[in-house]
Structure 1
Amino acid sequence: MSARKPIELRQKSVLAGLLAAPTLFLAVFFAGPLGLMFIYSWLEPGLYGGVEWTFYDLSYGRIFGWADTRYEKFDPVYLEIFLRSVVLALQTSFFCLLICYPAAFWVSRLGERAKSLCLFLITLPFFVSLVVRLFAWVLLLRPTGLINQFLIGLGLIDTPLEIIFTETAVVIGMVYVFIPFMFLPLYASVEKLDASLIEASGDLGATRLQTFRKVVLPLTLPGIIGGSIIVFIPSLGNFIVPSLLGGAKVVMTGNLIEQQFLSARNWPFGAALGMTVMASVLLLLVVYVRLLGRDEMPAARIRSSEGG
């Protein structure tokens, strides 16, 4: 035991040295700005921008309902924008899952070379500017775009569909952008799926639906939940896609925060909106961790029963 203690202390010191740089980086460039935003959210907005260093809770009151003064009023439109952002983010997560879940199974059954090619193609959009890719969707979705011209040419519609600058266009754009974020966690979960468990389920007389519900789904659920969280969080605060594909008709929380910091120069209100989104994301992560802990239990039972 006495010989092990110096080794353990040396290992701990090496680990502390390795973690010191990233910890310092996160403290300075993540926790620092986040703490500054939290402080600003409780300060009074300056007359010409900036802040006055006096306590001021009416920025949150404009969002949640207790602001009722001459200059600050509660407006339900902010909650409506937040709820709209949540709905659009949920729709984005759902459609990404709908596309990526069967695709992950298909890719996992390919040969090594084809599998590597598919993974490369999934990550290929990251090598192109997001703005350029979204402007390509503007050209596709506009009334004179390729999609409307194709549908008119087939005789399916007589007049162009109004797709651009709608919530539908925003969801299409966000699904396109965040598909890799959903696919990679799903693929990692599907790749680890033990085929012998599926075979054993079939040998015991289970139907395909029963096998999926009781074997495949519990074992891939961590990937489903993880991918959904990874897609939902950036979708909730996204402002580039709504700006380009939604225009002035579709405003999400990210656009509202951008407007408050840049156009309106109301930094405390923008910080309050940002902290509200951050609190929602943290709550979602807590729920995810709890669900992940529960979901590992049935998967462990399946493996233990197979081992027995």
Structure 2
Amino acid sequence: MTAVVPAAPPAAAGPEPDPPSARRTRRLTPYWLLLPAGLWLAVFFAAPLVYQASTSVQSGSLEEGFRVTWEFSHYTDALAAYGPHFLRSFAYAAIATALCLLIGYPLAYMTAFRAGRWRNLVLVAVIAPFFTSFLIRTLAWKTILSDGGPVVGALDALHVLDVTGALGLTGDTRLLATPLAVVCGLTYNFLPFMILPLYSSLERIDPTLHEAARDLYATPAATFRKVTFPLSLPGVVAGTLLTFIPASGDYINAQLLGSPAEQMIGNAIQKQFLNVLDYPAAAAMSFLLMALILIVVSVYLRKAGTEELV
């Protein structure tokens, strides 16, 4: 007797392939999403940069007109004439960045781990200076550091200005129009740019790592040195970049809080553009500043080992 074997059920039909138009649309969607940002960068960044580059190799005057002559003497002349301005700008920016890190790290640490229900209030206080103009904040510092202001009066009573004046940081009995005033203004104005990245980096640290360190009998100092600070290095790098780069090109603080002896490269560029009306020289100085900042940042990122931080 022959056994009857039931027929196998028909195989389930697979999903139908997408039509070519759907695949093409899915493939082009990311490019369409990038188009607005690309157009914005092309119009407001790339085009002005190209125009500025062409201006830096022009010759002529405002009355006779400028024409491209591929003359690169503006670059060498700028380095020879304004070398001290470049060095002063980077020195002020580096000092202000270091002060922002020293002030901002403890505040960001306390906000991330100790503020509790006051955290949002602290963050609002950090962001609050952005609600006013950069110029107004600097003018406020000009009033605070003025010769008849409370700061000078208190320091003069304590004879602090005599010591700082001997060190060349201030005048004999004043703070305004000194390198110290310029650095104070830079530090205050760019401090939020340091605090916010630091807070973001510290706030993402897993609390269980601190608990594990305590379980292994690590002291608070050892926990900070071996756990907290290494994990916060991305915020340190981001904060230092966000502070140093704009501080290097700043000119408002030196203009309002300093004297002609404390002028930065931004002041020299502003003078060439608006007073001397030497547009090729100003464009060349701007390109030199941008190139030097890129070199400094590249060296810093290489030394910081950012490929191991992210």
TM category (shorter chain) comes to 0.7 to 0.9
| Equivalent of 1:94 in 98, 104, 109 | 98
Deviates more, 1:151-160 or 1:241-250: 151-160
Which residue of 1 is the match for residue 78 of structure 2? Answer: 63
**Once the 2 structures are TM-superposed, how far is the Cα of residue 112 of structure 1 from its aligned partner?**
5.7
User: Where does the alignment leave 5 or more consecutive residues of structure 2 unmatched?
Assistant: 1-14, 163-170
The Cα of 1:207 is off from its aligned counterpart by 3.9
* Letter aligned with residue 133 of structure 1: R
- Following superposition, the deviation at residue 157 of structure 1 comes to 6.6
Identity across the alignment (%): 36
1:255 corresponds, among 267, 270, 274, to 267
Contact 1:49 1:267 (C-alpha < 8 Å) held by counterparts = no
**SS of 1:85 mapped into structure 2:** helix
Aligned residues: 285
TM-score after normalising by structure 1 = 0.83
Q: Residue 267 of structure 2: SS of its match in structure 1?
A: helix
Mark the runs of 5 or more structure 1 residues left unpaired by the alignment.
65-73, 297-308
What is the CA distance between 1:243 and its match in structure 2? Answer: 0.5
Q: Normalised by the size of structure 2, how large is the TM-score? A: 0.83
Is 1:243 matched with 2:255? yes
Q: Structure 1 residues 156, 180: closer, same or farther in 2, change over 3 A?
A: closer
**Contact 1:182 1:228 survives alignment (8 Å):** yes
1:263, CA displacement in angstroms?
A: 1.1
Q: Which amino acid aligns with 1:18?
A: L
1:26 to 35, 41, 50: 41
Q: Deviations over 1:57-114 (max 9, x none)?
A: 11111134xxxxxxxxx43xx1111011101000010000000101001011245641
Deviation at 1:44, TM superposition (A): 1.8
Which residue number in structure 2 is paired with residue 172 of structure 1?
A: 184
Aligned-pair RMSD on alpha carbons? Answer: 2.6
Change (3 A) 1:202 1:153: same
Matching residue within 17, 35, 38 for 2:53: 38
Task: Say whether residues 1:202 and 2:233 are aligned partners.
Answer: no
| Residue 143 of structure 1, CA deviation | 1.3
Alignment match, 2:7:
none
Q: Which moved more, 1:196-205 or 1:169-178?
A: 196-205
Task: Check whether the contact 2:178–2:258 (CA below 8 A) recurs between aligned residues.
Answer: yes
The one of 173, 176, 189 aligned to 2:201: 189
Residue pair 2:152, 2:174 contacting (<8 A) in 1 also:
no
Please give the alpha-carbon distance, in whole angstroms, between the structure 1 residues aligned to 2:240 and 2:130: 19
* CA distance in structure 1 between the aligned counterparts of 2:212 and 2:25, rounded to whole angstroms: 47
Q: 1:123 aligns with which of 117, 122, 127?
A: 127
Counterpart-to-counterpart distance in 2, 1:58 and 1:263:
21
Distance, in Å, in 2 between the alignment partners of 1:84 and 1:164 is 17
